[in-house]
Amino acid sequence: LNLLSSDTVWVFISGSDEDRFLDDVAFGVQCLIYRGFATSNILLFIDQQSSLSILSSYPYPDGVQIFETCDFLNQVLQKKPTNLVVVVTGHGSEHGIDALPTISPYKLLDSIKTITSLTYGLVVLGQCYAGTFNFLEARKVDQVSKKVILPELCIVGATDLTFSVSVPINISSQDILKNFSCTLEWNANLFLFFFMLHVAIPFDIDGDNITTVIDAYKAAGIFTNKRLLSIKQQAFLSFSQTLLSSTISQLVQGAVASTLAQQAKQDLANACDGILINQSPWILNANLARKLNI
């Protein structure tokens, strides 16, 4: 079961068009193109939650189609995929994926199960609180016979019931990646970055002589945590110094300026969350993941 075959559709979802998420998607698309995957089988579902039209200026390749998240099921159905991969970046909450409207875990999985052409599906969740998708039914059960029927899903989460993190990444000096037609320096969702990097440059991490979703999951989890652990001490020290020097007394004349200054101070303090948490990736239906080649 090759997830780069011509009967597979890759979908990227972001409920926000903030730059870092658009760049996550652009990098993921380039990883697929690097492997020779057809852009016509790549669909992007991105919501523009502000009145800025940033999305229209993003360098997504020709052939890649962009829709709103509410069009997800309709557009995927038209593609009649045998296999489907859904990669989610952007914001998440305890309610699921922040989008217009919010996509609850059950709603997403149930929608995918209604795709009649589908045999296997993989969902990779990079948003915060991805663990809200865990422990749901990954298989489809016939309501009459009560037998398990296709499609069967595998779900990978970057993090459990907590935040996911984005970190500054610069790939401009890397021979393999520097020719990617995307932003080469951005704040990348770390787990998704490593997961998609493994799609572009797969390797057999567990030594079973095949490269599967299991390998991508392990590689992404290992290298995400490896990097996070190595930076925490330094980051915490730097952050403490930053917060200590942070004031809101600077040029805050007027109500709007005061609002911005207050929000910036709070956001800077909130960013400390990232230092204090761990990323605990998880996988649901690992038996299927072992069969899904990359």
Partner 1 sequence: MVAFWGIINQMMITNHQHLKTSFNFKNHQKRVFQPLRERKMLQTLSVSKTNVENLPEDVLRLISMGRYTLYKATSPSDHRVSYVLRVSAKDLFVLTNNGSPIEFNDFSDIQITGKVKIEDISSPFVVSNFSFN
According to CB under 8 A, which residues from 27 to 56 bind partner 1? 47-56
Residue appearing with tokens 């989460």 = 157
Q: Does 5 contact partner 1 by CB under 8 A?
A: no
CB distance 189 to 126 below 8 Å: yes
Count Cβ atoms within 10 A of the Cβ of residue 92 and give its class: 0-12 exposed, 13-18 middle, 19 or more buried: buried
Alpha-carbon distance values, 112 to 53, 73, 106, 252 (Å) = 29, 7, 10, 49
Site string for partner 1, 53-72 (x = CB under 8 A): xxxxxxxxxx--xxxx----
In the complex, the smallest distance separating the C-beta of residue 245 from partner 1, rounded to whole angstroms, is 8
**Residue 1 · residue 294 · CB < 8 Å:** no
Please tell me whether residue 157 binds partner 1 under the rule CB under 8 A. no
CA angle (104 as vertex; 100, 110 as ends), nearest 5: 115
Tokens standing for 232?
């925490």
- 234 scored as a contact of partner 1 (CB under 8 A): yes
Q: Would you state the structure tokens that stand for residue 120, as one six-digit string? A: 């296997």
Binding-residue pattern over the window 171 to 200 for partner 1, x denoting contact by CB under 8 A: xxxxxx---------xx-xx---x--x---
| Binding flag, residue 242, partner 1 (CB under 8 A) | yes
| From candidates 271, 286, 291, 293, binder to partner 1 by CB under 8 A | 271
* Closer residue to partner 1, CB minimum distance, 118 or 182: 182
Span of 102-110, 111-119, 121-129, 146-154 interacting with partner 1 by CB under 8 A: 121-129
Q: Output b/e per residue, 175-206; b: 16+ Cβ within 10 A.
A: eebeebebbbebbbbbbbbbbbbbbbebeebe
Contact letters for partner 1, residues 77-96 (x by CB under 8 A):
------------xxxxx---
Q: Please give the residues from 130 up to 149 whose contact with partner 1 meets the rule CB under 8 A.
A: none
Residue from the set 2, 5, 78, 246 that interacts with partner 1 by CB under 8 A: 246
What gap in Å lies between CA 142 and CA 292, rounded to an integer? Answer: 23
Query: Smaller CB distance to partner 1: residue 114 or 172?
Result: 172
Whole-number Å distance between alpha carbons of 45 and 12 = 6
Member of 85, 103, 112, 205 binding partner 1 (CB under 8 A): 205
Binding mask of the shown chain, residues 210 to 229, with x at each position contacting partner 1 by CB under 8 A? ---------x---x---xx-
Stretch that binds partner 1, among 73-81, 106-114, 138-146, 201-209 (CB under 8 A): 201-209
